[in-house]
């Protein structure tokens, strides 16, 4: 009976990460300490199961990437005018231009909202000057092509050894968002949706600049060995305040599919641990239907272990940590998590730390730890996309997972942020 009660409690806590409705509070930004300056070590030689991305530059630099705060969201595209990139034929993504964009259910009627500038939606087709989009509320709508920047999907490419990071299109998905989907909450009130967005913005900042990487220590430096990625999108757009809106799980995958992303990372922080650990209990979920996803997850767990080894906490985790996968009997043994089930490219769900554990929440409240989390994702993306590295982290085969995940579809009262 006790065991049963424990199990119920565990399921309830575990559910918090996907469906918790607790109050929204935000952590005060802690003071930022600069990282010590270090010299980049020469590139290490490849091993049988791991390799560092090939670099041609011999430049060393001593300027570490600053921790700081994430950059402000990119300014929205200028308007008005035809804002259609070459190669756009209806499919891809649209970004709402300056002044907002009217969205229509029915072109004969009034718009149902003027969407806020900077928001991103998936694009599915064109009819004359009108683009059919799929919105963050998991619904189709029409928008005029003069009020959005329309961008075509990435060209298909083989990832792995020989792939240039400069060609990479990557979708970063900050988990949860909006008033009803906070994700897990720490005892002190730190809210997962806010932390996830901050980490996602840091990843996008890293992807937007070239870097040198010390693969031994994981430290990132200003440099040119790893080029900026071609295109990095987030499924929620904005800062801590403006980026706090509902985004349905169908939309999140649909956006990544529409831009033909080479990889997608859903950023989360966990609840519902089982045991104490002497290191971070990072879990990364992979898609069993896309073989490369497991390799991606293994590399990411490895990079998280490297990043988080510099921090001390009363770590907790699952009995089986590492790269893992869950299948749902109710979904015909398809992927348990909707974002892994629906996304057509290698996608992982990163559960870097346990926000429900106050000791780890205290770390997540610091810019240094969130930056370390973002740098782990960045390094994992570089290794996954530009090498055939199999990763060294522990992993396990997919398991049938009882219970029901929240569907994650947008609620009927979902609201698209409006232009002020």
Query: What span, in angstroms and rounded, lies between the C-alpha atoms of 339 and 317?
Result: 23
Strands 283-285 and 91-96: unpaired
Shortest distance, CB of residue 412 to Zn ion, whole angstroms?
Answer: 22
Shortest distance, CB of residue 198 to Zn ion, whole angstroms?
Answer: 14
- Contact segment (CB under 5 A) with Zn ion among 11-19, 79-87, 95-103, 297-305 equals 11-19
Q: What are phi and psi of 330, to 5 degrees?
A: -70, -20
Query: Is the Cβ of residue 177 or residue 183 nearer to Zn ion in the bound state?
Result: 183
Shortest distance, CB of residue 303 to Zn ion, whole angstroms?
Answer: 20
Residues in 181-200 that interact with Zn ion by CB under 5 A: 183
Q: Return contacts of 223-227, CB within 8 angstroms, 24+ apart.
A: 223/40, 223/57, 223/59, 223/61, 223/63, 224/57, 224/59, 225/53, 225/55, 225/56, 225/57, 225/59, 226/53, 226/55, 226/165, 226/382, 227/164, 227/165, 227/166
- Residue 419 burial (CB < 10 Å; 0-12/13-18/19+)? middle
Report yes or no: 305 and 219 within 8 Å, Cβ to Cβ.
no
Shortest distance, CB of residue 100 to Zn ion, whole angstroms?
Answer: 30
Report yes or no: 196 and 268 within 8 Å, Cβ to Cβ.
yes
Q: Give the nearest residue (CB) to Zn ion.
A: 268
How many CB atoms are located within 10 Å of the residue 319 CB? 9
Shortest distance, CB of residue 234 to Zn ion, whole angstroms?
Answer: 15
Query: Is the Cβ of residue 181 or residue 293 nearer to Zn ion in the bound state?
Result: 181
Residues in 296-335 that interact with Zn ion by CB under 5 A: none
Residues in 146-175 that interact with Zn ion by CB under 5 A: 175
Tell the residue number behind the tokens 């994992």, with chain if given. 380
Residues in 228-287 that interact with Zn ion by CB under 5 A: 268
Shortest distance, CB of residue 17 to Zn ion, whole angstroms?
Answer: 4
- Contact segment (CB under 5 A) with Zn ion among 53-61, 90-98, 176-184, 229-237 equals 176-184
- Contact segment (CB under 5 A) with Zn ion among 95-103, 178-186, 294-302, 342-350 equals 178-186
Site string for Zn ion, 29-68 (x = CB under 5 A): ----------------------------------------
Q: Which of 16, 17, 259, 416 binds Zn ion (CB under 5 A)?
A: 17
Query: What span, in angstroms and rounded, lies between the C-alpha atoms of 303 and 387?
Result: 15
Enumerate binding residues for Zn ion (CB under 5 A): 17, 175, 183, 268
């Amino acid at each position: 009976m006790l065991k049963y009660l424990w199990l119920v409690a565990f399921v309830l806590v575990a559910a918090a990460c996907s469906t918790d409705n607790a109050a929204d509070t935000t952590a005060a930004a802690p003071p930022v300490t600069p990282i010590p300056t270090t010299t980049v070590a020469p590139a290490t030689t490849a091993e049988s199961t791991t390799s560092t991305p090939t670099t041609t530059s011999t430049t060393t630099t001593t300027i570490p990437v600053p921790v700081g705060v994430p950059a402000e969201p990119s300014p929205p595209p200028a308007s008005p005018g035809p804002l259609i990139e070459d190669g756009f034929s209806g499919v891809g993504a649209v970004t709402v231009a300056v002044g907002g964009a009217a969205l229509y259910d029915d072109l004969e009627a009034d718009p149902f909202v003027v969407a806020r500038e900077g928001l991103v939606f998936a694009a599915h087709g064109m009819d004359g000057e009108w683009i059919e989009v799929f919105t963050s509320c998991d619904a189709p709508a029409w928008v005029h092509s003069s009020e959005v920047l329309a961008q075509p999907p990435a060209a298909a490419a083989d990832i792995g050894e020989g792939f240039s990071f400069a060609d990479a299109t990557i979708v970063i998905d900050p988990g949860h968002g909006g008033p009803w989907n906070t994700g897990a909450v720490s005892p002190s009130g730190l809210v997962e949706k806010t932390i996830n967005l901050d980490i996602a913005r840091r990843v996008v900042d890293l992807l937007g600049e070239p870097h040198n990487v010390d693969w031994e220590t994981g430290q990132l430096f200003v440099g040119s060995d790893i080029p900026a990625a071609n295109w990095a999108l987030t499924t929620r757009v904005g800062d801590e305040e403006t980026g706090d809106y509902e985004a349905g799980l169908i939309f999140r995958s649909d956006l990544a599919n529409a831009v033909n992303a080479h990889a997608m990372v859903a950023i989360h922080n966990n609840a519902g641990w089982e045991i104490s650990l002497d290191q971070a209990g990072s879990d990364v979920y992979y898609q069993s239907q896309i073989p490369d996803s497991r390799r991606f997850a293994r590399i990411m767990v490895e990079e998280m272990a490297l990043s988080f080894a510099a921090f001390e906490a009363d770590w907790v985790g699952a009995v089986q940590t590492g790269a893992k996968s869950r299948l749902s009997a109710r979904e015909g043994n398809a992927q348990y998590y909707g974002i892994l089930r629906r996304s057509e490219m290698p996608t992982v769900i990163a559960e870097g730390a346990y926000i429900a554990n106050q000791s780890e929440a205290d770390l997540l409240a610091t810019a240094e730890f969130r930056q370390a989390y973002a740098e782990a994702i960045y390094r994992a993306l570089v290794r996954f996309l530009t090498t055939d590295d199999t990763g060294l982290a522990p992993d396990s085969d997919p398991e049938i997972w009882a219970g029901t995940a929240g569907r994650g579809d947008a609620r009927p009262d979902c609201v698209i942020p409006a232009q002020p």
